[in-house]
Amino acid sequence: MRTIMNRKITSALALSLALGLGACGGMPKNSSLNSTKQAVVERTHYTLDVQTNGDSLPVSEQQRLLGWFETMDLRYGDRVAVEDPGFGPGVRDTVAQLAGRFGLLLAEGAPPTEGYVAPGQARVVISRTLASVPGCPDWSAKSDMNYTNATYPNYGCATNANMAAMVANPEDLVTGQQGTGETVILSSNKAIDSYRNQEPTGAGGLAEVATTSED
């Protein structure tokens, strides 16, 4: 009888110990307030080789390039560059005009791409960046016990994922916007000067208002 009871007690202790170890393994470990899930920015280059016609692009190639821009859904945040072995300024100006229809300026230099550009051709490159937060959501820490007062793995997932989804230019998450160096103090002070120089409403005295009305 004692042997059976001892076996039952030993089994209960082993089960409770296993449950305790399993719970400890699911506890959060990040002791800081910094989110372990951060946005990752990835850049992809898309290329299209077009035929050149001396110092410009034929009308047929311009239409093909414009159709490619529309198919690629060219938008803010994309970078358009031209790799032209012939260094024709007309080719660059033509591509710049087509990219300008989508509100984009032509980049100064083209990124390195696979292969080479054949003679009589120019390569148009669209560089597109996407931001995402890998591993979110993360509910791996399922234990309610938190002996180290750590933050859970899912901490920051909602904020960082929403920021990655809403940012217009994902590269801003890496480098931010660069200033142009131009001052805007004069333009911003116009509203302030107008407010300060405006004559107070009570400067002309109070308007006479009749207190009684005639029927």
From CA 212, how far away is CA 215, in angstroms rounded?
10
Q: What angle do CA 112, 113, 114 make, to 5 degrees?
A: 135
Q: What is the distance between the alpha carbons of residues 115 and 18, in angstroms, rounded to a whole number? A: 58
Instruction: Give the pLDDT of residue 148.
Output: 85
Compute CA 214 distance to the chain's CA centroid, rounded to the nearest angstrom.
68
d(CA 61, CA 79): 20
For every one of its 215 residues, what pLDDT tens digit does the chain have, with 9 covering 90 and above?
444 444 544 444 444 444 444 444 578 888 888 888 999 999 999 999 999 987 889 999 999 999 999 999 999 889 999 998 888 888 999 999 999 999 999 998 888 888 888 888 999 999 999 999 999 999 888 888 888 888 999 999 999 999 999 988 888 888 877 766 665 666 667 778 888 888 877 777 777 777 776 65
Total count of domains within the chain: 1
Please report the beta strands in the chain, taking only residues with DSSP state E, as ranges in sequence order. Answer: 40-51, 79-83, 121-132
The reply to whether 51 falls in a domain is yes
Residue at 95 is within a domain: yes
d(CA 8, CA 29): 34
Does residue 191 sit within a domain?
A: no
**Predicted structure pTM score:** 0.62
Q: Smallest Cα–Cα separation from 14: which of 26, 24, 25, 6? A: 6
Q: What is the pLDDT of residue 115?
A: 87
Whether 133 and 156 have beta carbons less than 8 Å apart is answered as no
What does the block give as tokens for 24?
Answer: 């400890």
In residues, how long is the chain? 215
The predicted structure's pLDDT at residue 213: 64
Q: What pLDDT shows up at residue 78? A: 92
Whether residue 88 is contained in a domain is answered as yes
Domain membership flag for residue 141: no
Measured over the CA atoms of residue 138, residue 139, residue 141 and residue 145, the dihedral's sign is: positive
User: Is 120 within the bounds of a domain?
Assistant: yes
User: Is 128 in contact with 69 (CB distance < 8 Å)?
Assistant: no
Q: What is the pLDDT of residue 74?
A: 93
Q: Report the pLDDT value the prediction gives residue 173, as an integer from 0 to 100.
A: 87
Is residue 65 one of the residues assigned to a domain?
yes
**Rounded Cα gap, residues 42 and 215, in angstroms:** 79
Residue 206 maps to a domain:
no
DSSP state of 33: S
Structure-token pair, residue 82: 């031209």
Range of the domain at 56: 43-129
Instruction: Note the pLDDT of residue 192.
Output: 80
Helices (H) and strands (E) in the chain, counts: 5, 3
